[in-house]
Amino acid sequence: MASEPMTTQTTSWFGSTTEQSGPRSPPQYALVASETIDLESSSSELITSVVEALIDVIEPAGGQTTLSLYEYVDPDALENIIEASASKQSDVEVRFTIEDYLVTVRSDYTILIHESLGAHSDASEKFRHK
């Protein structure tokens, strides 16, 4: 019995799904984690959820269980943008990179973590969906 090929969902920094070639092609990322936070959550839970999702995927060296977002993005500004967008029911997403990962936080309280296709040989093996 032949198995069906596994499809990997990919994106680029700007969300383009078109293939480009050449020396200046934008990096491509494969989705490795997706989590939607309960909409009843307070904004302080948003940052905690982002950090927990990142720690699950990145698996910091030495069993580290904390991650400082301040090195990559202003957590207060992220909370303010997402909270304001959610209260106005406008669709907004904030994207930033941490190491070889592209993190997207949407105003519907969805967190998407994409791994650079150049970072590891098979990012699709790490895919998980909460």
Residue 25 pLDDT more than 80? no
| Domain extents in the chain | 27-129
Q: Which residue shows structure tokens 């969902």?
A: 9
> What per-residue confidence (pLDDT) applies to 102?
94
Supply the pTM of this predicted model: 0.69
Sequence-separated (6 or more) residues with CB below 8 Å from residue 57: 32, 33, 101, 113, 115, 126
Indicate the SS3 state at residue 33.
strand
- Compute the mean pLDDT over every residue in the chain, rounded to the nearest whole number: 75
Q: What are phi and psi of 82, to 5 degrees?
A: -65, -45
Distance of CA 57 to the CA centre of its chain: 10
What's the rounded Cα separation, in Å, for the pair 37 and 49?
A: 7
> What per-residue confidence (pLDDT) applies to 53?
87
Crossing angle for the helix pair 43-58 and 75-87, to the nearest 10 degrees: 120
Residue range 58-86: average pLDDT? 83
Residue 44 pLDDT more than 60? no
